[in-house]
C-alpha cells in the first residue's frame, strides 16, 4: 500500500502573496517561500518542524477572488515567479523532506479562462457546454439560487442571450461536470502538477462540482446547522447546488488519477448537508481527507470542542483519519476570535496543543505560530470582494520597515503590528509563541500515541476542562485542557510531563494523581 504520510504530517497553509516577497514588488512569491523553508523545517529543533505545505492558488488569475478564479490551470502567476520558481520551491522543499500540496479549483474558472472565452463566444461553440448555460428571459433567472458572495447565482449574458451559473462571483463561472470533456480536462490538470512534483491537492468547493440535474429551487433555510454560515446570511439552504449524490463519481475519477502516482493525496474543502454526507466523501475510493470547519465556529468552551471532536470521531468511516483546523484564509484568525485581554496568548497556546494533540492531521495557518492576529482593514482598503483581508496580511518576520516581508514601501496588504509580533523577536525567546509551537510539534512527533494513536475522550473531566487519552502500541499520552480563566483541580494518571503551556511547569518531571491546572493551561503527559 502507498504510504499514508498525510496521517502523521503537520500541514502549514501558506497564502503565497503574503508570506515573503523576494523581489521587492510588495507581493509575496514562491522564491520568498523557498528562502524561508529552513524556518519551516531545517531538520533541527530551531525550525518549526512542519512536514507539508498547502499553497493557496498559485495559477495565473485576474485576481477577482485572489487566485480562486483561475485563468490558466497549467502555469504559475507571474507575480509569484512563474513555473521556474515553482520548480525551485519543489526541489528545495524536497531536500528538506517537506511536501507541497496545491489548491485545485475545479468547480469554476475565471471568466478570463480561454475555456470560458470560447464558451461565451457563441451558442454553437464546441466549448459552450463546458459551462452551465440556461435559456430564459433576461428578467427571469432560471431558478432562485444565490451566490455565496451575495446576489443571484445567475448572470445574463447579453451577447448570446442566455444565463450562466456562478456560485461565487460572476467572474467565476461554474464548469459543467456533466460533460465528460470537462472531467478529462481536469484530470489533465491534476496530472500536470503531480508530474511536476506536487504531493497532492487541497480541492476547493469539492461539494459543489455537480448540480441538481433539474435545477430545482433551493428551499428557504429553516434550521441552522453547524457550518452553514453562508446559508444564514443568504437565507437559503443549498440543497440542490451543493453536495449532490453524483459528485462522488467525479471524485472517484479524480482519485483514480491521484492513485496513478502512488503516494499523493487530496484533502477536500467539503461543506456537506449533514454528518452522514460528510462521511461519504471519505469512502476508500474518494478523498483521503476532508476538512471539517467545526472549530472555526466554536465558542471558547471546553464542552463545545469536546462535542465537536466526539461527533467527528463518531461519524467518520472506520479507517479514515480526521483533520483539524483553527484558522484559514476565509475566517478571522483564532487568536483574534478567542482574544480575551491578558488570557489571549494562553488561550492560543491551549488551542495549539488541542490541534496538535487530537487524533488527526493538524492544518496550521501561516502566522499562527507567532500569534499573529487579524489586522483591521477599513472597507475602502479591502482587496477581497467580501473583506476577508484581515486574516491574509503579510507574515511578520521582523520589526524592520516592511516587516521583513518586503523591501517595498507598499506591501499588497497592510502589515500588522510588527513591533509587537514578529519572528525575529520570538525566535530566541524560549517563552515565545514560536518556541512553544516548535516544542509542541516536536512533542507530537516524539510520541507515537499523539501521532498515530486512538483517542478516548474522558467523560468525567472537571467543568471547563477537555481531557482525552491517546494510545498506540506501547505509547500512552493524556492531554488535559483547562478552558477556564481559573485553576482547576484534576485527577490524572501518573506520567512524565511532555509539554505544558504553563511555563512554570517543568517538562520531563513526573506528575501523578491530583494536579492543579493553571488558568487556560494545556498539559500533555506521557503516561507510559
Ligand atoms: C473557498 C475558498 O477557500 C475561498 O477563499 C474562495 O473564495 C471560494 N472557495 C471560491 O473559490
Ligand atoms: Ca514579489
Do 443 and 498 meet the contact criterion of CB atoms below 8 Å apart?
yes
Is 174 inside a domain boundary?
no
Is 449 inside a domain boundary?
no
In this structure, the answer to whether residues 517 and 399 fall within a common structural domain is no
Q: How far is CA 303 from the centre of its chain?
A: 24
Q: What is the overall mean pLDDT for the chain?
A: 96
Ligand 1 atom, smallest distance to 108 CA? 11
Question: How far apart are the CA of 392 and the centre of ligand 1, in A?
Answer: 13
Q: Which domain holds residue 148?
A: 114-165
In this structure, the answer to whether residues 187 and 213 fall within a common structural domain is yes
Is 172 inside a domain boundary?
no
The Cα 411–Cα 383 span in angstroms is 12
Name the pTM for this structure: 0.97
> Does the pLDDT at position 172 exceed 90?
yes
pLDDT band at 174 (very low <50, low <70, confident <90, very high): very high
Pocket test for ligand 1, best of 62, 65, 293 (most atoms within 8 A of CB): 65
In this structure, the answer to whether residues 317 and 389 fall within a common structural domain is yes
Is 144 inside a domain boundary?
yes
Is 257 inside a domain boundary?
yes
- Of all protein residues, the one whose alpha carbon is nearest to atom 10 of ligand 1 is 68
Lowest-confidence segment of 30-39, 82-91, 94-103, 270-279 by average pLDDT:
270-279
Task: Pick the ligand that lies closest to the CA of residue 402.
Answer: 2
Residue 2: what pLDDT?
73
Task: For residues 297-318, give the mean pLDDT.
Answer: 95
The Cα 377–Cα 140 span in angstroms is 37
* Residue 133, domain CATH: 3.90.400.10
Single residue among 444, 474, 500 that ends a domain in this structure: 444
In this structure, the answer to whether residues 304 and 212 fall within a common structural domain is yes
Task: For residues 266-275, give the mean pLDDT.
Answer: 93
- Of all protein residues, the one whose alpha carbon is nearest to atom 6 of ligand 1 is 68
Q: Is 330 in the pocket of ligand 1 (CB under 6 A)?
A: yes
Question: How far apart are the CA of 98 and the centre of ligand 2, in A?
Answer: 22
**What cell numbers appear for 181 in the block?**
470533456
> Does the pLDDT at position 228 exceed 50?
no
Do 215 and 249 meet the contact criterion of CB atoms below 8 Å apart?
no
As annotated, the active-site residues are: 204, 260
Is 170 inside a domain boundary?
no
The Cα 173–Cα 107 span in angstroms is 9
In this structure, the answer to whether residues 17 and 78 fall within a common structural domain is yes
Task: For residues 31-46, give the mean pLDDT.
Answer: 98
Strands (E) located in 88-172:
99-104, 133-134, 154-157, 162-165
Which among 438, 421, 447 is positioned nearest to 46, based on CA atoms?
438
Is 19 inside a domain boundary?
yes
Q: Is 365 in the pocket of ligand 1 (CB under 6 A)?
A: no
Residue 229: what pLDDT?
45
In this structure, the answer to whether residues 349 and 480 fall within a common structural domain is no
Single residue among 395, 416, 444 that ends a domain in this structure: 444
Single residue among 412, 444, 476 that ends a domain in this structure: 444
In this structure, the answer to whether residues 87 and 154 fall within a common structural domain is no
In this structure, the answer to whether residues 99 and 121 fall within a common structural domain is no
DSSP state at residue 10: P
- Of all protein residues, the one whose alpha carbon is nearest to atom 4 of ligand 1 is 330
The Cα 43–Cα 48 span in angstroms is 9
User: pLDDT tens digits, residue range 114-166?
Assistant: 999 999 999 999 999 999 999 999 999 999 999 999 899 999 999 999 999 99
**What cell numbers appear for 214 in the block?**
433539474
In this structure, the answer to whether residues 242 and 148 fall within a common structural domain is no
In this structure, the answer to whether residues 293 and 403 fall within a common structural domain is yes
Q: Is 79 in the pocket of ligand 1 (CB under 6 A)?
A: no
- Of all protein residues, the one whose alpha carbon is nearest to atom 5 of ligand 1 is 330
Which among 143, 133, 145, 59 is positioned nearest to 102, based on CA atoms?
59
Residues in CB range of 120: below 8 A, 6 or more apart: 111, 131, 157, 159, 160, 164
Do 310 and 457 meet the contact criterion of CB atoms below 8 Å apart?
yes
Question: How far apart are the CA of 439 and the centre of ligand 2, in A?
Answer: 31
> Does the pLDDT at position 513 exceed 90?
no
Is 175 inside a domain boundary?
no
Lowest-confidence segment of 308-322, 342-356, 396-410 by average pLDDT:
308-322
In this structure, the answer to whether residues 418 and 292 fall within a common structural domain is yes
Question: How far apart are the CA of 422 and the centre of ligand 2, in A?
Answer: 20
Q: Is 69 in the pocket of ligand 1 (CB under 6 A)?
A: no
In this structure, the answer to whether residues 209 and 84 fall within a common structural domain is yes
pLDDT-above-70 percentage for the chain: 97
Pocket test for ligand 1, best of 105, 106, 204, 388 (most atoms within 8 A of CB): 204
Tell whether the torsion through CA atoms of 362, 367, 372 and 373 is positive or negative.
negative
- Of all protein residues, the one whose alpha carbon is nearest to atom 3 of ligand 1 is 330
* Residue 508, domain CATH: 2.60.40.1180
Question: How far apart are the CA of 453 and the centre of ligand 2, in A?
Answer: 42
Q: Is 174 in the pocket of ligand 1 (CB under 6 A)?
A: no
Task: Pick the ligand that lies closest to the CA of residue 13.
Answer: 1
Segment holding 188, helix H or strand E: helix 180-195
Tell me how many domains the chain contains: 3
* Residue 382, domain CATH: 3.20.20.80
Amino acid at each position: 500500500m502507498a504510504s499514508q504520510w498525510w496521517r502523521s504530517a503537520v500541514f502549514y497553509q501558506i497564502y503565497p502573496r503574503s508570506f515573503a516577497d523576494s523581489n521587492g514588488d510588495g507581493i509575496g512569491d514562491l522564491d520568498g517561500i523557498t528562502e524561508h523553508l529552513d524556518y519551516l523545517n531545517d531538520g533541527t529543533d530551531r525550525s518549526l518542524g512542519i512536514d507539508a505545505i498547502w499553497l493557496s492558488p498559485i495559477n495565473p488569475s485576474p485576481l477577482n477572488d485572489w487566485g480562486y478564479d483561475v485563468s490558466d490551470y497549467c502555469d504559475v502567476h507571474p507575480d509569484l515567479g512563474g513555473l521556474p520558481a515553482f520548480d525551485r520551491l519543489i526541489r528545495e522543499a524536497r531536500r528538506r523532506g517537506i511536501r507541497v500540496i496545491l489548491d485545485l479549483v475545479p468547480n469554476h474558472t475565471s471568466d478570463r479562462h480561454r475555456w470560458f472565452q470560447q464558451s461565451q463566444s457563441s451558442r454553437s461553440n464546441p466549448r459552450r457546454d463546458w459551462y452551465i448555460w440556461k435559456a430564459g428571459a433576461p428578467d427571469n433567472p432560471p431558478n432562485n439560487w444565490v451566490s455565496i458572495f451575495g446576489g443571484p447565482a445567475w448572470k445574463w449574458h447579453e451577447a448570446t442571450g442566455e444565463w450562466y451559473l456562478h456560485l461565487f462571483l460572476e467572474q467565476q463561472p461554474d464548469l459543467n461536470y456533466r460533460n465528460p470533456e470537462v472531467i478529462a480536462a481536469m484530470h489533465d490538470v491534476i496530472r500536470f502538477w503531480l508530474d511536476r512534483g506536487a504531493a497532492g491537492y487541497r480541492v476547493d468547493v469539492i461539494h459543489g462540482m455537480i448540480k441538481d440535474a433539474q435545477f430545482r429551487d433551493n428551499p428557504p433555510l429553516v434550521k441552522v446547522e453547524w457550518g452553514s454560515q453562508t446559508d444564514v446570511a443568504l437565507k437559503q439552504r443549498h440543497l440542490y447546488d451543493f453536495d449532490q449524490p453524483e459528485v462522488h463519481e467525479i471524485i472517484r475519477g479524480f482519485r483514480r488519477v491521484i492513485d496513478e502516482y502512488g503516494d499523493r493525496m487530496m484533502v477536500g474543502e467539503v461543506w456537506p448537508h449533514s454528518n452522514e454526507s460528510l462521511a461519504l466523501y471519505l469512502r476508500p475510493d474518494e478523498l483521503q481527507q476532508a476538512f471539517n470547519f467545526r472549530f472555526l465556529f466554536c465558542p471558547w468552551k471546553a464542552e463545545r470542542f469536546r462535542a465537536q471532536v466526539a461527533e467527528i470521531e463518531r461519524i467518520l468511516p472506520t479507517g479514515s483519519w480526521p483533520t483539524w483546523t483553527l484558522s484559514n484564509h476565509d475566517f478571522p484568525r483564532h487568536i483574534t476570535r478567542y482574544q480575551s485581554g491578558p488570557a489571549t496568548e494562553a488561550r492560543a497556546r491551549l488551542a495549539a496543543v488541542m490541534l496538535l494533540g487530537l487524533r488527526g492531521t493538524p492544518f496550521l495557518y501561516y502566522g499562527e505560530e507567532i500569534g499573529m492576529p487579524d489586522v483591521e482593514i477599513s472597507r475602502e482598503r479591502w482587496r477581497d470582494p467580501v473583506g476577508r483581508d484581515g486574516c491574509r496580511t503579510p507574515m511578520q518576520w521582523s520589526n524592520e520597515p516592511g516587516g521583513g516581508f518586503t523591501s517595498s514601501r507598499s506591501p499588497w496588504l497592510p502589515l500588522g503590528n510588527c513591533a509587537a509580533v514578529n519572528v525575529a523577536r520570538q525566535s530566541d525567546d524560549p517563552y515565545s509563541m514560536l518556541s512553544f509551537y516548535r516544542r509542541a510539534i516536536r512533542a507530537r512527533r516524539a510520541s507515537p500515541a499523539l501521532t498515530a494513536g486512538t483517542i478516548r475522550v474522558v467523560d468525567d473531566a472537571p467543568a471547563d476542562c477537555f481531557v482525552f487519552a491517546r494510545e498506540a502500541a506501547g505509547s500512552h499520552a493524556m492531554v488535559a485542557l483547562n478552558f477556564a480563566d481559573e485553576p482547576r483541580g484534576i485527577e490524572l494518571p501518573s506520567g512524565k510531563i511532555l509539554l505544558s503551556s504553563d511555563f512554570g511547569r517543568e517538562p520531563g518531571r513526573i506528575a501523578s494523581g491530583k494536579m492543579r491546572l493553571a488558568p487556560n493551561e494545556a498539559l500533555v503527559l506521557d503516561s507510559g
